[in-house]
Amino acid sequence: ADVYFKLEQSDNKITVFTTRPDTLFGATFMVLAPEHALVEQITTAEQKAAVNTYIKAAQAKSEIERQDTNREKTGVFTGAYAINPVNNENVPIWIADYVLAGYGTGAIMAVTAHDERDNAFAKKFDIPIQQVINDPLGTHEGCYIGECVMINSGEYDGMSSSYTREKIVKDLEAKGFSKEKTTYKLRDW
């Protein structure tokens, strides 16, 4: 599904493609690819030098290097915020080279308790981790990627994550914040 996060103090939207809309309440930050068209527009004057330096460093890396899950996460805060459409909370917008412009929309919602890369990034940069899917055994040390019952998710609490994934898209579609979409990824090996 495409989910639309509104830029703080603007009518502009950032489109995020996600296969896990059930985790929207756990999105504590967003990440844009360094090449994303909005980076220059949203970066604050205070963050401009750091962002420009980071973009140059990211451009020196190959796509294969950037996708390596074992390397240390890097990124920089843009100074801008987006509004999460399910709870109206401000979430900081970062750029990081693990997000690629050619994959999805080049923007992700970062769900720190339910995605391993987002979790590692959050721990490195001291970003809050918000669990929204119950870890049935409690053995995943802050990063449970499976299915279970929703928690900390407002009206969706107690529902199964698989049911919530469908329901939340329909609910957000009715408000103009989402659109169900089928995306195919074809890569030549």
* Residue pLDDT, tens place only, 120-171: 999 999 999 999 999 888 777 779 998 999 999 999 999 999 999 999 999 9
Which of the 8 DSSP states describes residue 35?
Answer: T
**Residue 6 — φ and ψ, nearest 5°?**
-85, 135
**Per residue in 13-40, pLDDT tens?**
899 888 899 999 999 999 999 999 999 9
Tokens of 1: 């599904």
pLDDT at position 18, please? Answer: 87
Strand (E) positions, the chain?
2-7, 13-17, 27-32, 76-83, 90-95, 107-111, 178-179
Q: What amino acid is encoded at 23 in this protein?
A: T
Q: Is the pTM of this model over 0.95?
A: no
Q: Specify the pLDDT at position 17.
A: 84
Q: What is the pLDDT of residues 85-126, one digit of tens each?
A: 999 999 999 999 999 988 888 999 999 999 998 999 999 999
Tokens of 129: 């981790």
